[in-house]
A and B are shown apart, each in its own frame.
Chain A
Amino acid sequence: MKKSLIIAAAAAALLMSGCSQKKPEVDMTKQETTEKEAPAVTEADSGVSTVVGTEESGDITTLPENGRTEVIKELEAKAKKIYFDFDKYNIRPDQEPRVDEDAQLFSSDAAKDLTIKIEGNCDEWGTDEYNYALGLRRAKTVRDALAIKGIDESRMVMVSYGESNPVCTEHTKECWAKNRRVEFKLLP
């Protein structure tokens, strides 16, 4: 019995000595990805596209801006940004009056036929997908609040820019708070 105990212990010691090298199981089977052909497109610029160079210019006069663009810019400047707490996507009580003002602005005669693009933004502290999702949820909360206040849902589109569109780039508390926001763009 004693002898077999010693043999068993020695066998276990041998097994354990190799353990630090043990690899997690991996299936290394290689398989090619299938790639579908994109539909045929005739390239009108296939010749010029092969010309080496970085800047191109052509003799095209820029289409004149109509007066409407100015109106849109004014409306966008009037719209209130909605700010959020860290890692949160609910509307804070102090932001509710701002949502009311936005709802009134978007129902005004000047804005009522414009599409409202609701952009969700975050501070730099999230990582990866979660931050983009957080930005989107902020946009959705604001969309739902505006819908309750009478803005037609079909007029509103949402997008999240995650941490990619900061208004403030200093590494301070105040700056991060400014970046956790929803803002609006109006589209004809």
Chain B
Amino acid sequence: MRYLMILLTAIVLMASDATLEIVKSTDNRPSVAIQDASEFGDMGIRGKFFRLVTGDLKVTAHFKVDDTYRSCSYDSMIDPLLKNSDYIFRYRFREGDGQRLYMDVRAYDMGSKSAIYERSYRVANRSRYPFLIHQAVIDFNDYLQMPSVGWMKRYVVFSQYTKPKQADIVVADYTLTYRKKVVSGGLNIFPKWADRDQRGIYYTKLGSRPVLYHFNIYTGKERRVISSDGMLVCSDVSRDGKRLLLTMAPEGQPDIYMYNIESGVKERLTFYSGIDVSAQFTGSEKRIIFVSDRLGYPNIFIKEVRDRAVRQLVYHGKNNNACSAHGKYVVYTSRESDNAFSSNTFNLYLVSTESDYIRRLTASGVNQFPKFSPDGESVIYIKHYASQSALGVIRLNYNEGFLFPLRGHRIQSIDW
């Protein structure tokens, strides 16, 4: 009996590992139909709104979303043809004064055939419409007592190339639909959120020598943090915002340093004569993972912050050159093609620092810039496939992925 319990406990513990793929044979999620009662915009604009509403509802992974476009008037009766759905999400966009835009939402429970709640949302500028939709979907999800998707409101910061040696830093919603340029002029790269409330960013301005700045996205106040010859990147920020993991190369030798914001003291953490970059705190921030070419090709390694010993973390692939960490989990990019210019495929993989499992997250195309969401439940990344680009969201606990089409310039680096 005791052995049986140990065995069952072991199975349960293994099953809680997110690196294990979850395969669901039945779909018991509630179904949702969407109705558009907008008074604003032509069919092109309404189509954009609808795609984002549908996308957000799907990204929650909590609903079976019927993506048929249906229009109706806001106060019309419930369409009997929708009786097979569990819920109806009816919305209306309408104009306000100036650039204001409103979104009204009324949700129906088809079990009781009645409206269960009604809410209104407003933005001062129409271009911010994605935030109306994200908030409306967060509230709908919360009302039905599903696990929170509050992260939809968070910003993504990224750097995009505009021309050679020129890159701007842009703040966006998580789908990159809404964008606001916050830093421009020169080569501004590797933005990283400086605090958990997303008030500031660190970024590198690459002029005659690289300089790391802190920039407050609300006040525009900029503060020079540190500079270095050759290369300088803020790869990660500790949870309390007081320590930075930097890649610096004072002698042309890229190594990892930890920089204390309050004392200004920097401490070198790696001592290899090749490339050590992209350090991320892991676990309780006593260890770091990083990318190194110490085996002759880029791969992911792990070490204690205060210890020189380095251990290989990933035993798969021959070119793993970017990673993101959250708690005990690490997601990394692996180049699958074995020579320089056969069809280029980069896939994303998830591993745990505490087990040997590897879970492949993508199957085709060039998948780059993986970043964990702050709660560690999702990964965003950029996908290039068949001359098209998209922002991908993978919901790890639900084994589901979604793509939002991407436009605009080439992305240099991204942080969520």
Contacts and interface: CB of A to CB of B under 8 A. Distances in A.
Given A21-B147, A25-B328, 11 more contacts: A4-B1, A16-B12, A24-B18, A24-B377, A30-B197, A31-B196, A33-B199, A35-B223, A128-B321, A157-B208, A159-B208
Given A20-B397, A35-B200, A143-B252, A133 B165 contact: no
Contacts, number: 183
A129 B277 contact: yes
A127 interface: yes
A160 B231 contact: yes
Contacts of A136: 230-231, 249, 252, 254
A68 interface: no
Given A12-B12, A87-B319, A165-B164, A128 B278 contact: yes
21 contacts: A1-B1, A4-B1, A16-B15, A19-B16, A23-B376, A24-B18, A28-B375, A31-B240, A33-B242, A34-B242, A35-B216, A125-B335, A125-B344, A127-B322, A130-B321, A136-B249, A137-B252, A157-B208, A160-B231, A164-B167, A176-B341
Interface string B172-186: 000000000000000
A136 B253 CA distance: 8
Contact residues on A (Cβ < 8 Å of other chain), bracket: 35 or more
Given A8-B1, A8-B5, A130-B277, A165 B239 contact: no
A77 B196 CA distance: 48
Contact of B275 (A16, A32, A130, A164): A130
B233 A132 contact: yes
B298 interface: yes
Interface in B344-375: 344, 346, 368-369, 374-375
A54 B343 CA distance: 44
A30 B231 CA distance: 31
A33 B223 contact: no
Interface of A: 1, 4-5, 8-9, 11-12, 15-16, 19-36, 38, 85-87, 117, 125-134, 136-137, 139-140, 143, 157-162, 164-166, 173, 176
